[in-house]
Amino acid sequence: MTWLKNAWYVAGFKQELDDGKVVGRTFLGTPVVMLKHSDGRIAALEDLCPHRLMPLSAGRRVGDELQCSYHGMRFAVTGLCTLAPGQSQIPAQAAVRTFPLVQRHGLLWIWMGAAERADTALIPDIRWNEHPEWTPSRGYHHLEANFQLSVDNLMDLGHESWVHLRTIGQEDEEVIPNYPVQVTVKDEGLLYAHREMPNIDAPPFFAMVLNHQGKINRWQTAISLAPSICMTDFGVYPVGTSPDDAYRSHVLHLLTPETERSTHYFWSVARNRRLDDDALTQAVCHAIELTFNEDAAVLKVQQAQLEKHGGAVPRVAMKVDEAPIRARRMLQALVKKEADDPAFVYRPPLMIEDTTPALAMG
């Protein structure tokens, strides 16, 4: 599979460019360097000096310009060379490609395709990362696996009972695949996989956030929005209480391909309770780091196995694979449209709906 290029991808958290910081990352196989101008503009340039191909991120910032570490050439945020030491005339070819970069919802968004098609109205609404009614715990993982394996993992929450038993998984009597999942296509590129788990024991993470050791009701929806955003929308509440008072969370999985074998995984876990509890914010962050470390270990092995044995996964499709397979097919269809029609631009559904239990549980 190749990537969908004419689409917005998360490039980082907006505060990463504060205080004159310069950030170098690779997106969709292309090295990029990002910075903020003193006038507030943010910019993304190809991280490659046109002279002898040194990464500009390996140089230093001089005012609002980037200086190459090899021959001291300087480049403005527009990509134009402003200084070529040793000569007064600057060749017209001494310019660096730029990419549209904007801030929205507390995040940096980059467009790696045709710049003239970069419509900011196409940025999905994931407001929970920066919203007064929600408090986020944020972080980042670098995954040594193709981003599509990560999407598979996030759309198949049945693995939680084995990979995440120490954090969010259930014991053998209540393994997640035993609870039926309802898979629904909401729109082109948007898929929901909803599951309800009534009257279950509280896994460690949910016991912590609820401060409750008894039985709970739990619902969770795995959501895939092409090309590479996933969200786990869940709610938990003690048995005998109302779902209206549930601890709710939107877990944003913001996956941006780095290479065919690696992925940037920006995440934000936004909650609706105890908004000013800084200790809880840190505890959630720590717990999620442990949880996603477990995913990262599995995905690294899976990537290595695919490279060793070839082919694709799943080799044998199981019931838990319905949502991952359908999400893959939806993205493949979009990639094919882009390949077949140079004028095609994917227009994703901009609103991801909250989910709730279909029935009051327990």
Whole-angstrom distance, CA of residue 156 vs CA of residue 325: 10
How far does CA 89 lie from the centroid of its chain? Answer: 44
**Side chain identity, residue 340:** D
Specify the domain boundaries for CATH 3.90.380.10 within the chain.
Answer: 125-340
- pLDDT, residue 173, reads 62
- pLDDT-above-90 percentage for the chain: 82
- pLDDT, residue 165, reads 66
- CB distance 205 to 167 below 8 Å: yes
User: Looking at per-residue confidence, does 315 or 1 come out higher?
Assistant: 315
pLDDT tens per residue, range 333-348: 999 999 999 889 999 9
Cα 201 to Cα 207, 241, 271, 305: the distances in Å are 9, 15, 21, 35
Nearest to 353 by CA among 194, 196, 195: 194
Nearest to 168 by CA among 207, 213, 134: 207
pTM above 0.85, yes or no: yes
pLDDT tens per residue, range 188-238: 899 999 999 999 988 888 888 899 989 999 999 999 999 999 999 999 999
**Judging by beta carbons within 10 Å of its beta carbon (0-12, 13-18, 19+), is residue 59 exposed, middle or buried?**
buried
Specify the domain boundaries for CATH 2.102.10.10 within the chain.
Answer: 8-120
When mean pLDDT is compared across 19-28, 106-115, 135-144, 207-216, the lowest value belongs to 207-216
- pLDDT band at residue 170 using 50, 70 and 90 as cut-offs: low
Q: Please tell me the CATH superfamily of domain 8-120, with its number.
A: Rieske [2Fe-2S] iron-sulphur domain (2.102.10.10)
Question: Which CATH number is associated with domain 125-340?
Answer: 3.90.380.10
Structure tokens given for 75? 């480049």
Mean of pLDDT over the chain: 93
Tell me if residue 224 falls in helix, strand or coil: strand
Beta strands in 37-106 (DSSP E): 42-46, 60-62, 65-67, 74-75, 81-83, 98-99, 101-104
- pLDDT, residue 352, reads 83
- pLDDT higher than threshold 80 for residue 351: no
